[in-house]
């Protein structure tokens, strides 16, 4: 966690190095009683969310600036002091603070949580008794992602979007000379997740796009949390992985990323897949799937 926090701090430092005019302006908002740890976190909150306030200008007082600073204080009070606010406010600051990593955050237990934990313990004992009475049955797991899959994955990829944006800023922006796979991998792993990489020979794919006659080389498909990110073609495995990562990062160039369930080809059949997209309309179909984590399962029995 210390390495992760240090990496984020380095990104903030690099951003300010590239934008030195922001340093005296943002530092003027530091409270006299804020520790270095508290200020570094709130400063990152301010810098990350500046673009969400269109009338905000450096050195010019405005309602947007007042609102951003107020929300940054509310967020810091919640994180470091355990303060609670009305749910709309809590939802807003949690969304704005996604992706900010803080070491050794104080953990506090509320009275309501203590009471709820006691109730859950009592309910768990009753559920154990009920499980014994259940008869053995058979469950058929259907093929395809569950309908709520896109909504469930969206919050994680919103956080990943912010992490990738900061990483690209520190690297000087999206370009052909970047190590696209390393950028994507490091951002994903900063959230304790991992990339899934599937590579197959180009000649083994039955659903190549029309007009592609090349049969030599490799194809790579990247996923994270079962969500499809991108496909790349290359003369060998490293080249294919690099191209797949570059294609995946293109989705992060817009104002947001969107997790959607879309139809695509897999082994000659149309299937529904969970995919990460940008907000731009697509004029071409998706590459055929190399892997599919939503295969139909064999019937399984429930134990009594």
Q: Is residue 249 part of a domain?
A: yes
Residues 161, 75 within the same domain: no
> How high is the pLDDT of residue 132?
37
Answer whether residue 300 is part of any domain: no
- Quick: pLDDT tens for 212-229: 555 678 999 999 999 999
Tell me which of 96-105, 119-128, 162-171, 181-190 is least confident.
119-128
Residues 239-264 have a mean pLDDT of 91
Indicate whether 140 pLDDT > 60.
no
pLDDT at 87 over 50: yes
Query: Both 154 and 57 in a single domain?
Result: no
Q: How many domains are contained in the chain? A: 2
Is the residue at 63 inside a domain?
A: yes
Region 83-108: mean pLDDT is 82
The answer on pLDDT for 25 being more than 50 is: yes
Residue 31 has pLDDT above 50, yes or no: yes
**Interhelix angle for 36-49 vs 2-18, to 10°?**
60
Confidence bin at 303 (pLDDT 50/70/90): very low
Q: Is the dihedral of CA 52, 54, 58, 60 positive or negative?
A: negative
In this structure, are 272 and 155 located in the same domain?
yes
| DSSP β-bridge partners for residue 57 | 60
What are the tens digits of pLDDT across the range 284-300?
A: 678 889 888 887 544 44
Does 102 reside within a domain? no
Range of the domain at 234: 149-277
8 A C-beta contact, residue 271 and residue 289: yes
Residue 297 lies in a domain: no
Q: What percentage of the chain has pLDDT greater than the value 90? A: 24
What is the pLDDT of the chain when averaged over all its residues? 79
| pLDDT tens digits, 36-75 | 889 999 999 998 888 888 788 877 888 888 889 999 999 9
pLDDT (mean) for 105-122: 59
- Look at residue 302 and tell me if it is in a domain: no
Q: Per-residue pLDDT for 133 more than 50?
A: no
For residue 142, name the pLDDT band (cuts at 50, 70, 90).
very low
- Asked if the structure places residue 68 within a domain, the reply is yes
User: In this structure, are 153 and 83 located in the same domain?
Assistant: no
Residue 256, pLDDT > 60, answer yes
Average pLDDT over residues 276-288: 81
pLDDT at 138: 38
Q: What is the mean pLDDT of residues 111-122?
A: 59
Give the per-residue pLDDT at 111: 55
- In this structure, the answer to whether residues 269 and 201 fall within a common structural domain is yes
Shared domain for 194 and 261, answered yes or no, is yes
- Residue 274 bridge partners (DSSP): 261
**Mean per-residue pLDDT, 120-133:** 51
For the full predicted model, state whether its pTM sits above 0.85.
no
According to the model, what pLDDT value does residue 279 have? 82
Asked if 153 contacts 275 with a C-beta cutoff of 8 angstroms, the reply is no
* Relative orientation angle of helices 149-170 and 180-189, to the nearest 10 degrees: 120
More confident residue, 241 or 282: 241
In a domain, 153, yes or no: yes
Query: Domain end: 53, 75, 96, which one?
Result: 96
- Same-domain check for residues 160 and 259: yes
120: pLDDT strictly greater than 70: no
Would the pLDDT of 304 be above 50? no
pLDDT surpassing 90 at residue 203: no
Domain holding 156: CATH number?
A: 3.30.160.20
Report the b/e string of 114-135 with b at 16+ CB within 10 A.
Answer: eeeeeeeeeeeeeeeeeeeeee
């Amino acid at each position: 966690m210390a390495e992760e926090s240090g990496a984020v701090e380095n990104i903030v430092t690099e951003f300010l190095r590239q934008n030195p005019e922001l340093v005296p302006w943002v530092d003027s908002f530091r409270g006299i009683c804020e520790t270095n740890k508290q200020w570094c976190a709130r400063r990152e909150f301010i810098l990350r969310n500046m673009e969400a306030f269109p009338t905000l200008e450096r050195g010019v007082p405005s309602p947007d600036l007042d609102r951003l600073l107020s929300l940054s204080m509310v967020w810091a009070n919640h994180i470091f002091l355990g303060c609670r606010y009305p749910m709309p406010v809590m939802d807003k600051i949690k969304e704005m603070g996604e992706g900010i990593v803080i070491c050794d955050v104080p953990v506090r237990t509320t009275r309501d949580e203590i009471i709820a934990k006691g109730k859950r313990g009592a309910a768990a004992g009753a559920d154990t008794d009920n499980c014994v009475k259940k008869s053995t049955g058979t469950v058929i797991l259907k093929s395809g992602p569950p309908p709520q899959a896109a909504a469930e994955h969206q919050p994680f990829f919103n956080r990943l979007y912010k992490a990738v944006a900061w990483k690209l800023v520190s690297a000087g922006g999206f370009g052909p000379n970047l190590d696209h796979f390393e950028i994507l991998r490091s951002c994903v792993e900063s959230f304790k997740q991992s990339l899934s990489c599937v590579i197959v020979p180009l000649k083994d794919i039955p659903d190549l796009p029309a007009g592609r006659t090349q049969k030599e080389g490799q194809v790579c498909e990247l996923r994270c949390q079962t969500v499809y990110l991108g496909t790349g073609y290359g003369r060998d495995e490293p080249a294919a992985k690099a191209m797949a990562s570059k294609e995946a990062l293109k989705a992060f160039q817009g104002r947001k990323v969107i997790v959607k369930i879309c139809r695509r080809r897999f082994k000659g059949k149309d299937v529904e897949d969970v995919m990460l997209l940008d907000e731009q309309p697509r004029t071409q179909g998706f590459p055929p799937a190399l892997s599919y984590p939503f295969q139909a399962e064999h019937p399984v029995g429930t134990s009594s």
